Copies of this chain bind each other. A is one copy, B any other.
Amino acid sequence: MNVLIWNEHRHEQQNEEVAKIYPDGIHGAIKEFLETDDIHVETATLDEPNHGITEERLAKTDVMLWWGGHLAHHEVADEVVEQVHQRVMEGMGLIVLHSGHFSKIFKKLMGTGCDLKWREADETERMWVVNPSHPIVEGIGEFIEIEKEEMYGEHFDIPAPDELVLLSWFEGGEVFRSGCTYRRGHGKVFYFRPGHEAYPTYYHKDVQRVIQNAVRWAKPTDRTFSSYGNAKALENIKPKS
Interface residues of A (CB under 8 A from B): 89, 91, 108-113, 115-119, 121-124, 126, 128-135, 137-142, 147-148, 151, 153-157, 159-160, 162-164, 167-175, 177, 182-188, 220-224, 226-235, 237-240
Contacts and interface: CB of A to CB of B under 8 A. Distances in A.
A160 B162 contact: yes
B122 A240 contact: yes
A147 B232 contact: no
Contacts of A171: 233, 235, 237-238
Given A138-B221, A138-B222, A231-B118, A167 B175 contact: yes
A157 B137 CA distance: 16
Contacts of A172: 233-235, 237
7 contacts: A117-B229, A129-B223, A137-B221, A153-B231, A169-B173, A171-B237, A172-B233
A240 B159 contact: no
Given A155-B132, A159-B183, A237-B123, A111 B110 contact: yes
Q: 10 tightest CB-CB pairs across the interface, nearest first?
A: A173-B234, A172-B233, A115-B228, A117-B231, A173-B235, A155-B226, A111-B111, A109-B111, A128-B154, A123-B237
A133 to B, nearest CB: 5
Nearest to A185: B112
Nearest to A106: B111
Contacts of A130: 154-156, 177
Nearest to A162: B160
Contacts of A187: 133
Contacts of A141: 223-224
Nearest to A116: B228
A134 B185 contact: no
Given A130-B154, A155-B226, A171-B235, 20 more contacts: A113-B228, A115-B229, A117-B231, A118-B231, A119-B233, A122-B239, A126-B175, A128-B155, A129-B223, A133-B188, A133-B220, A134-B221, A137-B221, A138-B223, A142-B226, A154-B167, A155-B228, A160-B164, A174-B231, A175-B175
